[in-house]
Structure 1
Amino acid sequence: MTAARSIPRSPTLVLVFLLLAYILNFLDRQILGILLEPIKTDLKFTDSELGVLTGPAFALVYSLFGVPFALLADRTSRSGVITASLGLWSLFTALCGTAASFWQLFAFRLGVGLGEAGGVAPSYALIADRFPAAQRGKALGIFSLGVPIGLGLGAVIGSWIAQHFDWRTAFLAMGVAGLILAPIFKFVVRDPPRVPGATPPSMGTLFATFPLVARKPSFWLLAFGASLSSLCGYGLATWVASILIRSFGMTLVGAGQFLGSLLLIGGTAGVFLGGYLADKLGGRDKRWYAWLPAIAWLITAPLYALGLLVENVTLVWALLLIPNALNILWLGPITTAVQHLVEPSKRATASAAFLVINNLIGLGVGPFLIGYISDALRSTYGADSLRYAALAVLVFYLVAALLTLLATRYLREDWVEDAA
């Protein structure tokens, strides 16, 4: 027996390493958000330019290559594609620390987006392969903990390193961490055997899979609902630290700890609760996979607005904790639902199609839109322009809830059960 074969291939072990990679995925995204203020001071960027770096510079490449990488993962090795992606985005994260101009940092962010394009959809498919349908929502919910944990650690660790060293060292440290994990990940995580007789996906899979989901109204409603939620979520995760510094007078480390605690406590609770409730309630009625996030977003919008408007920092934290849990609750339920809109062999490609929409709208628009509105409001509101820009985008949570509620009309009909 070889050393690689001696590694236990339990679903739990696979899930743990997928979670570690996903934590680094979001840590490397968030670290730019927490470093916006020192980067702005050092390189003299506007909020609109910072919005481009945090949004479109990453999202365009991330979305463009997500589907081809998912096809490659379905045809070859899902764990191999994830490993290569992890190494690539970590390398470019480290290179971000060497940037001396807007266009250099823009190019390196493109590289981070290229690498991360191959991480998520193959991970969804590996989890769907490893866990039975009754446990899939919970497993995807645990995997999705990488979002709040990565965002939270990015805020805390990034701000600490930048405060004690500089923002360039923060990028370098995070990149090196990923480069160390990549070979260990490949050694441990292995693909399960392919289903005997299954036809490997080809480039034609994209043209076969997308029409399958495109004919299903629930796909579009869930995709656009999640995307508008992500527009708010990515935008707020990017800019809240800067709001705390500009409008509440916090230090960089103080803002990092404040935001990190919200994401780690609230976000982690919300993701886990979403996965748990999806399995618990979804077994009774598939519509709960859409009802859960819709209810959460309807509560998120007013609470987040109230939290941004009050002046007492302790009250701000208390008010923002609940919406930081609820705004991310959708990850387990909706990603599980998307997995069940197609047969198992097409899951990575279907997930990638969903992620293209989610990231182009959510990640591509959210951070830039808040930065653009902030620059437009600066002459009226001064340092508070960023706070009011964040308030303006909260309306998209309400639209997301409406779209997802409409999806409940179609979800049971569109659902594809696992083969017996």
Structure 2
Amino acid sequence: MSTTIASAAKPSKPNVVLAMLLVVYIFNFVDRQIVSILAGPIQADLDLSDAQMGLLGGLAFAIFYSVLAVPLATLADRTSRSWVITISLVLWSGFTAACGLASGFWQIFLARLGVGVGEAGGVAPSYALIGDYFPSKRRAFALSIYSLGIPLGSAVGVMAGGYIAAAVDWRAAFLVVGLCGVLIAPVFRLLVRDNRPVAAPGEDAPEQPRLAVTAGVLAKKPAFWFLSFGAASSSMCGYGLAFWLPSLLQRSFGLTLIEAAWFFGAVLLIGGVAGMLLGGWVADRLGGRDRAWFAWVPAISFIVGAPLFAAGIMSGSVTLAFALFIVPQALVYVWLGPVLSAVQHLVAPAGRATASALFLLINNLLGLGGGIYALGQLSTLLQPVYGDEALRWSMFFALALYLVAGVLMLFAGKHLRSGWVEEAA
């Protein structure tokens, strides 16, 4: 049977799709990161420990977010990626609003579980849509643009959350950002359509890969494992620092809630945006000559960034700490465009969402689920030794994870050369 392919429906414009995916991803991280700036008021109101806040910020969200991402990505590969993202946006935004109604630890814990359930269907299908709309030579940069949702959403989350909490209370912050996400969902669905080829009339439909097939392909490629565990190591440290830095700024640097929100928001915007764009741009150029650079660029960034972060954390000056945080914040965000693009090139195009979800399963279950809780628990354990400075030392020790990530990415480089799946011209 011939393999002639025709489009099932008129696709959206690539830049419109990318812009809408970015907006949704911003909401994703607003809802995710807002807990960090609200940690102090939540702890005071609900009488929670650092360890319990670590559970709310990490494990409560990551359990279902990581596990359900795989079947939802497979569903998106086999049905409609845009519909899966739309429904997911409504779910996670609704549960974010529900966090503002919690009266105790278990109520807010369950609401955060619900946020994780919703967000499980958002990211991997978005990666796949970008892969469908943008050619290989532009994909790392397009994924970097999409990944701007991380620093932008995180910055908006801490700034808006801090302002609303100071002006009203922490519950209002959850309600406002949750309802805004629900309102954007129909706009997204109207503007974003799937862009996958289907068989022309009378032709066989392209076969969609099963989860087991895609997992089997990835399991045989060392590059997938080095990339996944390298990213997970960096995410353990990155999510942990992002969650606990506002608390550190208030406890050890003496900033108010609003001051901490603006400090951290500015670091995320300046450093995060620069790092995202730089990583995608450099990887697309160097990676076109040697695929290993898709892993080596992040490796170098992690190894250089760790000691700069250490200097900022241990600084006694707010001004000096701000200057020291900007550069490493950029460097630790460099990895997203190159690595996400590389993972998509380890499988055939039809399995991109599933491959991305399997990568995210490892990255988020270990990174998001373990990092925030580990830093909170370590801070609690270090309190008898370091007292009020326990959180500072907990964050300092965690920076070793960036060095681990750098080494794993170095190993991933050479394996990308043999594991890369080239696309048809």
**Shorter-normalised TM range:** over 0.9
TM-score under structure 2 normalisation? 0.96
The code of the aligned residue for 2:371 comes to G
In the alignment, structure 1 residue 65 sits paired with structure 2 residue 72: no
Question: Which amino acid is the alignment partner of residue 334 of structure 1?
Answer: V
Match of 2:195 among 192, 196, 206: 192
Q: Does residue 170 of the first structure (1) align with residue 169 of the second (2)?
A: no
Q: Deviations over 1:182-204 (max 9, x none)?
A: 011001101114342454436xx
> What is the CA–CA distance in structure 2 between the aligned matches of 1:181 and 1:278, rounded to whole Å?
32
Aligned-pair CA distance for 1:378: 1.0
Q: Report SS of the residue matched to 1:55.
A: helix
Task: Report Cα offsets for 1:352-377 as digits up to 9, x if no partner.
Answer: 00000000110000000000001001
Which residue pairs with 1:180 in the alignment? Answer: 183
SS in 2 for 1:249: coil
Normalising by structure 1, report the TM-score. Answer: 0.97
Q: For the Cα contact (< 8 Å) 2:151–2:273, is it kept in 1?
A: yes
- String of CA shifts for 1:44-70, please: whole Å, max 9, x gaps: 100000001111101010011000100
Distance, in Å, in 1 between the alignment partners of 2:326 and 2:83 is: 37
State the 1:300 CA deviation. Answer: 1.1
Cα distance in 2 for partners of 1:389, 1:199 equals: 51
1:114 aligns with 2:117: yes
8 Å contact from structure 2 (residues 132, 196) kept in 1: no
- 2:280 is the counterpart of 1:298: no
The within-5 A match list for 1:91-240 is 91-196=94-199, 197-201=204-208, 205-240=210-245
Equivalent residue, structure 1, for 2:280: 275
Match of 1:29? 32
1:248 aligns with 2:253: yes
- The 2-side partners of 1:282 and 1:216 are apart by 19
Unaligned runs of 5+ in 2: 1-7
Q: Which amino acid in 2 is paired with 1:104? A: Q
Give yes or no for contact 1:75–1:200 (8 Å, CA) kept in 2: no
Q: Is the 8 A contact 1:74 1:200 kept in 2?
A: no
For 1:338 and 1:412, locate their aligned partners in 2 and report how far apart those are by CA, in whole Å.
12
Q: Secondary structure at the match of 1:409?
A: helix
CA contact (8 A) 1:342 1:350 kept: yes
Deviations 1:117-148 (A, max 9, x none): 00000000000000111111110010010011
**2:84 maps to what in 1?**
81
Write the distance in 2 (CA, Å) between the matches of 1:152 and 1:198: 44
Name the structure 2 match of 1:373: 378
Q: Deviations over 1:309-341 (max 9, x none)?
A: 111100000001001101111000000000000
Alpha-carbon distance in 1 for matches of 2:212, 2:250 = 47
The 2-side partners of 1:233 and 1:195 are apart by 40
How far off is 1:6 after superposition?
12
2-structure distance, mates of 1:268, 1:300 = 16
Residue from 356, 361, 367 that aligns with 1:362: 367
C-alpha separation between the residues in 2 aligned to 1:18 and 1:365? Answer: 27
Percent pairwise identity: 54
Deviations 1:192-251 (A, max 9, x none): 14342454436xx11110010110000000000011000011000100000000001100
Which AA in structure 1 matches 2:208? P
Report how far residue 408 of structure 1 moved: 1.3
User: Please, which of 392, 410, 417 is the counterpart of residue 415 of structure 2?
Assistant: 410
- Residues matched between the structures, number: 414
Mapped to 1, the partners of 2:170 and 2:176 lie a distance apart of 10
**Structure 1, residues 136-195: CA drift from partner, whole Å, max 9, x if none?**
111001001001111111111110100111000000010011001001100110111434
- Indicate whether 1:9 and 2:12 are aligned: yes
Instruction: State the shift of 1:254 in Å.
Output: 0.4
Change (3 A) 1:256 1:153: same
Question: What is the CA–CA distance in structure 2 between the aligned matches of 1:162 and 1:200, rounded to whole Å?
Answer: 50
- Supply the RMSD in Å over aligned alpha carbons: 1.3
Query: Given the superposition, is the C-alpha separation of residues 7 and 32 from structure 1 closer, same or farther in structure 2, using an over 3 Å criterion?
Result: farther
Q: Secondary structure at the match of 1:248?
A: coil
Unaligned stretches of 5+ in structure 1?
none
Q: Say whether residues 1:317 and 2:336 are aligned partners.
A: no
Q: Distance in 2 between matches of 1:31 and 1:101?
A: 18
Question: 1:156 & 1:178 partners in 2: Cα distance?
Answer: 17
* Contact 2:11 2:193 survives alignment (8 Å): no
Moved more, 375-384 or 219-228: 375-384
Amino acid at match of 1:332: G
Q: Is the 8 A contact 1:7 1:188 kept in 2?
A: no
Q: Mapping of 1:390-405 within 5 angstroms?
A: 390-405=395-410
Match of 1:285 in 2: 290
